[in-house]
């Protein structure tokens, strides 16, 4: 039986592997869609959060504003997003996802769900084991997000 420290180390290794695999799959999805991984990340953020300011986008992607601007320029040129100025304060610019951008994100999500669904079918569905595992992962993600929020001083929940 593993003690808490060994269990935490093992869990950390699994989370690292999961992150690496997910990162590679996102790269593949982006490549199939004909955009960069960073552009795909921006599309996903705008899709999930709705209209987002450029400053919020910079924080979400942990990049300089010039990087976010460059990504937004490319996505806007491709017809996936549009910039919208606020009426009350014209200095505030928000990114809004357009139907073509939504199609790309939905397509990638559908592929991901299809892949995961196929993988879940390979496991025996004994009682509520899968639901319990998902509940554990949700609770862990929430706790990790709260820890990170306390470090960053801002919310990272989606």
pLDDT of the residue at 158: 47
Q: Which one, of 146, 69, 86, lies nearest residue 157 by Cα? A: 146
pLDDT of the residue at 150: 86
pLDDT of the residue at 67: 93
pLDDT of the residue at 127: 66
CB 54 within 8 A of CB 72: yes
Mean of pLDDT values over 32-58: 93
Query: Mean of the per-residue pLDDT values for the chain?
Result: 89
pLDDT in tens, 122-136: 887 776 788 888 898
Mean of pLDDT values over 131-149: 89
Angle (CA) 136-137-142 rounded to 5° is: 100
Residue 156 has pLDDT above 80, yes or no: no
pLDDT of the residue at 134: 87
Mean of pLDDT values over 52-71: 91
Cα maximum dimension of the chain: 61
CA pair distance 108, 33, nearest whole angstrom = 9
Q: Which two tokens stand for residue 59?
A: 């924080």
pLDDT level of residue 138 (50, 70, 90 thresholds): very high
pLDDT level of residue 46 (50, 70, 90 thresholds): very high
Q: Which two tokens stand for residue 17?
A: 């592997």
């Amino acid at each position: 039986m593993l003690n808490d420290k060994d269990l935490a180390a093992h869990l950390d290794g699994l989370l690292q592997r999961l992150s690496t695999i997910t990162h590679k799959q996102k790269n593949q999805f982006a490549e199939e869609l004909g955009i960069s991984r960073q552009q795909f990340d921006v599309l996903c953020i705008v899709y999930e959060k709705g209209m987002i300011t450029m400053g919020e986008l910079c924080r979400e992607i942990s990049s300089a504003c010039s990087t976010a601007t460059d990504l937004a320029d490319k996505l806007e040129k491709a017809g996936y997003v549009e910039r919208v100025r606020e009426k009350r304060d014209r200095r505030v610019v928000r990114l809004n996802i357009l139907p073509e951008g939504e199609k790309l994100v939905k397509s990638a999500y559908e592929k991901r769900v299809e892949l995961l669904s196929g993988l879940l079918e390979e496991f025996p569905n004994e009682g509520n084991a899968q639901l319990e595992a998902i509940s554990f992962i949700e609770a862990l993600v929430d706790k990790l997000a709260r820890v990170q929020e306390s470090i960053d001083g801002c919310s990272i929940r989606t």
